Structure 1
Amino acid sequence: MADGRSVLVTGGNRGIGLAIAKAFAAQGDKVAVTHRRAGGEPPADLPERLLAVPCDVTDAAAVDAAFGKVEAEHGPVQVLVSNAGITDDGLLMRMSEESFIRVVDANLTAAYRVAKRASRGMLKARAGRMIFVSSVVGLTGSAGQVNYAASKSGLVGLARSVARELGSRGITANVVAPGFVDTDMTRALPDARRAEILTQVPLGRYATADEIAAAVTWLGSDAAAYVTGAIIPVDGGLGMGH
């Protein structure tokens, strides 16, 4: 796949998603990112080279409209990175059904929505890359995250089914499973909890968002043309064996 491709990163306005978007843009790709800011105004600190598209990935009509805007500006999406997601942690006995459904809808059903919409252009082109950002938690489980872990685990089945269904058309579908990443969210954890987490990670440190982005951009490159249905862990060894 040549440079200057049309790339869409959902939830690409901050954190890991923004690092992924910047990495593709640095390669010369035309990159669009979705965001959910009130009024549809793009984030003020978003780099100008990124096309900001308002989109609620839990709304099929909004997803279709977002793709329409990207297609008008950059052409059909050639590389899709399904990254948008939420958490709403709580112990099983206290977790409401609404909480479970909301997280699964935002993290898993939304991935189905964007993959389905992206497949339209990819099938016509007989080429494409779909990359789903999961989590080590989807493979190992995590107390207090039944909803989140279920949604992230579900991405594996989704991606592998897409890989089998669309592989004959030159479309690959893969999963990146980050471990603990140095972000605003993890920096806000108490020092004792941060130290406890590191005892579980063989490499003894948090990942940088750029290290996650490196795995994603590789999967979107020509070098990974024969890789599909794979889970690429970027977790410092935390989830090995799963």
Structure 2
Amino acid sequence: MGFANGRHALITGGGTGIGAAAARMLAAEGARVSLLGRRLEALQPIADEISGTAIACDVTDRAAMERAFAEAREANGPFDYVVLNAGIGDSAPFLRTARETFDRIIATNLTALFDGAQLVLPDLLQGEGKRLIVVASVAGLKGGAYAAPYVASKHGAVGLTKSLALEFAKTNLTVNAVCPAFVDTPMVDESAERIAKVSRRSVDESRDALAKLNANGRLVTAEEVAASIVNLCHPLSGSINGACVTIDGGTSA
């Protein structure tokens, strides 16, 4: 097996996109994988494919996270790699953005990171080669019109990552973020559908328009992001700490 043989990887938002791709790659390296997400029907096929553990969990509910993390720990042992990937997006003019939308995005994309990190740190501060990886976005590195709540949440994710990296720099834990541009995932599909509803473009044309916002003119693949996540888990990545790894085709260059 690979470098992760017998180690426990916990991934939130593990049923689709980046989470599912990371689960497959870490399992291929020998990790025992726990997949968390809102919908068990999305998680279970991935879990069955990689002999992992699927656990339904709403990451905006700290008590639910505590129960889910305890179930994962019971099934697969203490956490070695934790990938906080669950996230949602939306887009609208700022003056037409409801406070409820802002609260929902912040709760999923930022507050859940705070809760998740606090709940896994006791495991991650014990033993060698522990990793905490936050799936942020290039939206956490610059501004973005018509997406203020999402951009604010991802700036918060980057700030939290850097702060934890510094606080625990002298331990055996590293804390890093991956910052992709537009990725070929269900979230981009939803964005394309929203664009199509308010424009004269088809959904396919809207997807193409999003792809062209990436400097290389194409959508990033989930596997490309997952490969960076796996690399951050590697034993030789122990000096990468507090990094924001961009997977964006040059968009943030």
Displacement of 1:43: 4.1
Aligned to 1:235: 248
CA contact (8 A) 2:4 2:30 kept: no
Q: State how 1:83-232 maps to structure 2 within 5 Å.
A: 83-125=85-127, 127-187=129-189, 189=192, 190-232=203-245
Alpha-carbon shift at residue 89 of structure 1 (Å): 2.4
* CA apart distance, 1:134: 0.6
- Over the aligned positions, Cα root-mean-square deviation in angstroms equals 1.8
CA distance in 1, matches of 2:147, 2:38: 23
What residue identity is the alignment partner of 1:223?
L
User: Who is 1:19 aligned against?
Assistant: 21
* TM-score, normalised via structure 2 length: 0.88
Q: Which amino acid aligns with 1:215?
A: S
Comparing 112-121 with 41-50, greater Cα deviation is found at: 41-50
What corresponds to 1:46 in structure 2?
Answer: 46
Greater Cα offset, 146-155 or 90-99: 90-99
Q: Output one character per residue of 1:108-134: Cα deviation in whole Å (capped at 9) or x when no partner.
A: 010111111110112233652000001
Corresponding residue for residue 34 of structure 1: 36
Find the residue that maps to 1:58 and give its secondary structure.
Answer: coil
Identity of aligned residues (%): 38
Aligned residues of 2:4 and 2:31 also touching (Cα < 8 A): no
CA drift of 1:41 comes to 6.0
Query: In the TM superposition, what whole-angstrom CA distance separates every residue of 1:144-164 from its partner, at most 9, and x where no partner exists?
Result: 211111101111110111111
Give unpaired runs (5+ residues) of structure 1.
none
Task: State the alpha-carbon separation in 2 of the partners of residues 43 and 216 from structure 1.
Answer: 19
Q: Secondary structure at the match of 1:140?
A: coil
Superposed displacement of residue 196, structure 1: 3.2
**Is the 1:11–1:33 Cα contact (8 Å) retained in structure 2?**
yes
Could you tell which deviates more after superposition, 45-54 or 75-84? 45-54
1:139-182 Cα deviation digits (max 9, x unpaired) = 22222211111101111110111111112121100000011112
Aligned pairs (5 A) from 1:61-100: 61-100=63-102
Amino acid in structure 1 at the alignment position of 2:118: K
One-letter amino acid matched to 1:148: Y
Q: In 2 relative to 1, CA 44–198 (structure 1 residues): closer, same or farther, beyond 3 Å?
A: closer
How many residues of Structure 1 are paired with residues of Structure 2 in the alignment? 238
Task: Find the aligned partners of 2:186 and 2:145 in 1 and give their Cα distance.
Answer: 22
Scaled by the length of structure 1, what TM-score is found?
0.91
Distance in 2 (CA, whole Å) between partners of 1:124 and 1:29 is 18
Cα offset for 1:104? 0.5
Q: Which whole-Å deviations, capped at 9, do the CAs of 1:35-84 have from their partners, x for residues lacking one?
A: 112xx566453341121011111111111111111111111111010000
Find the aligned partners of 2:124 and 2:21 in 1 and give their Cα distance.
24
- In 1, distance between residues paired with 2:180 and 2:119? 25
Taking the aligned partners of 1:109 and 1:214, their CA distance within structure 2 comes to 26
